[in-house]
Amino acid sequence: MPFVKGFSEKITRELRKEGITVVFGKGKTLESSLCKLKQKIPKDQTKNNIYLKRSTSCNFKYIGESGQTLKQRDIGHKSDINTKKSRSGLYKHIRDNEGHKIDFQNQKILDREPNMFKGK
Ligand SMILES: [Zn+2]
């Protein structure tokens, strides 16, 4: 049975938290098993995303890309906002539009490109 120690254990554990049981089938590669499971991995735990965030109060859209998981990237965004970093597009929007918030809960992944960050 193909099994990458550590890696698949971690994924199995993450998926189990979501109530999904993972069985790595006989004769299948880990990759093909993961391919089928791709949809089930929580979206904030996937890496190399192009993501879209919105304002809760208007049509403001922010498209970003990150080699980190969305969760990790959000920590960065939130810290930029808290420390009022003017290079942060998200902070600028909140600063210039009173009462607006960035909707971190309902962001959208536009694309996922595993090779996008290679060589950078
Ligand atoms: Zn807004």
* Distance of CA 37 from the midpoint of ligand 1 (Å): 35
Confidence of residue 31 (pLDDT cuts 50, 70, 90): low
Each domain of the chain, given as residue ranges in start order, spans: 7-41, 49-112
92 Cα–ligand 1 center, Å: 10
Residue pair 65/50 in contact by the 8 Å Cβ criterion: yes
- Whether the model pTM is above 0.85: no
Tokens 């991995």 label which residue? 41
CA gap 72, 77 in Å, rounded: 9
Rounded mean pLDDT of the chain? Answer: 79
Spacing, Cα 61 to ligand 1 middle (Å):
8
Q: Give yes or no for a contact between 30 and 24, defined as CB atoms under 8 angstroms apart.
A: yes
Cα of 95 to ligand 1 centre, how many Å?
10
In angstroms, the Cα distances linking 101 to 43, 58, 104 are: 21, 9, 9
Distance separating alpha carbons of residues 117 and 112, to the nearest angstrom:
11
d(CA 29, ligand 1 centre) in Å: 46
